[in-house]
Every structure is written in C-alpha cells, then in structure tokens.
Amino acid sequence: METNKEKYWQTLALDQLSQAEWESLCDGCGLCCLHKLQDEDTDEIVYTRIVCRYSDIQTGSCGDYANRSINVPSCVPLTLERVAEFDWLPDSCAYRLRYFNLSLPNWHPLNIGDDSQVKYHGLQSINVVVESLELDEEDYLIDKP
Ligand code: SF4
C-alpha cells in the first residue's frame, strides 16, 4: 500500500518537505527564467519571451544552478515565504499549486516518473529569444504563461 510519504508531492504541505523533496517539486519548465517587466505605476508584472542567458532551453534548467544568485543577483532562491509572495510565477508552477493545496498535473515528472513531457509545458512551448543588450524588452511581451 502506498504511504503518504511515497506520494509526498501530493500529500505533504510545502513546510513538511525535506530539502530534497522541495527541490524535486520543480518540474523544470524554466518559465520563471523568462525576463519580466514591472509597471512603475501599477506594479503589475508582465512576462517577456526573453530568457536568461544561463537558461538551457532544451531542458528548462539553469546552466549554472549553484551560482545562479551570483550570476544573476535578481535570481533569488525560491523559499516558502517567496512562494506566497511571488504571485507572478506561472500558474502551472508546482510550488504555487502545492501552496494552494492543489494537485500536481499528470504530466509532472513526479507523477509520470520522468521529465519527457515537461518540455511541452515549458520554454519549448514559447518562441523564446536569449537575452542580449540589443533587445528592447518591451517588444517581446507575452501573456503570463
Ligand atoms: S516556474 Fe516553478 S516549476 Fe517551473 S522551473 Fe520555475 S520553480 Fe520550477
């Protein structure tokens, strides 16, 4: 019989997860690595299809995960408090789903046992361009993924 621990991603609250379980929740969509702009007047955050230069578009993972906060100071580790605060994260983000006590989708790697389908829900579903100084970010706005 399956125990709660075996399905920890569906049954445990975020604050009950071990560090390894917490890390495993990330589905690798990579969508949080898209650049975003914030409206000065309304504080609204708008996505662009410009992706961080460290992002691996094929896998959705960070090319230098250990040093991400050094390479990109605005890239802060996701914590329990920040999951609550970061309402700009994609609606599909596993941390946001579990924060609201919702189930992870069937395609989540923890549900299917591998990450072969995640790409269809992540960066590969968007016509991304890699960040560069020449780009005017306002020309690359997209709806929130
Ligand atoms: S949006 Fe959420 S699930 Fe997707 S890569 Fe970022 S932290 Fe992971």
Contact status, residue 104 vs residue 91, Cβ threshold 8 Å: no
Whether the pTM exceeds 0.75: the reply is yes
Q: CB within 6 Å of ligand 1 — which residues?
A: 26-32, 78, 89-90, 93-95
Digit-by-digit pLDDT tens for the chain (145 residues) are 444 567 999 999 999 999 999 999 999 999 999 999 998 899 999 999 999 999 999 888 899 999 999 999 999 889 999 999 999 999 999 999 999 999 999 989 999 887 776 777 899 889 999 999 999 999 999 999 9
Q: Which residues pair with 34 in a beta bridge?
A: 51
Tell me how far the alpha carbon of residue 1 lies from the centroid of ligand 1, in angstroms.
30
Contact status, residue 81 vs residue 14, Cβ threshold 8 Å: no
Nearest CA to ligand 1 atom 2: 93
Nearest-atom index, ligand 1, CA of 26: 8
The residue ranges of every structural domain in the chain are 14-142
Query: In testing the pocket of ligand 1, which one of 26, 45, 75 has its CB within 8 Å of the most ligand atoms?
Result: 26
Distances (CA, A) of 133 to 67, 130, 136: 22, 10, 8
Nearest-atom index, ligand 1, CA of 122: 4
pLDDT for 4:
52
Contact status, residue 26 vs residue 94, Cβ threshold 8 Å: yes
Amino acid type, 130: V
Tell me how far the alpha carbon of residue 89 lies from the centroid of ligand 1, in angstroms.
8
Tell me how far the alpha carbon of residue 114 lies from the centroid of ligand 1, in angstroms.
16
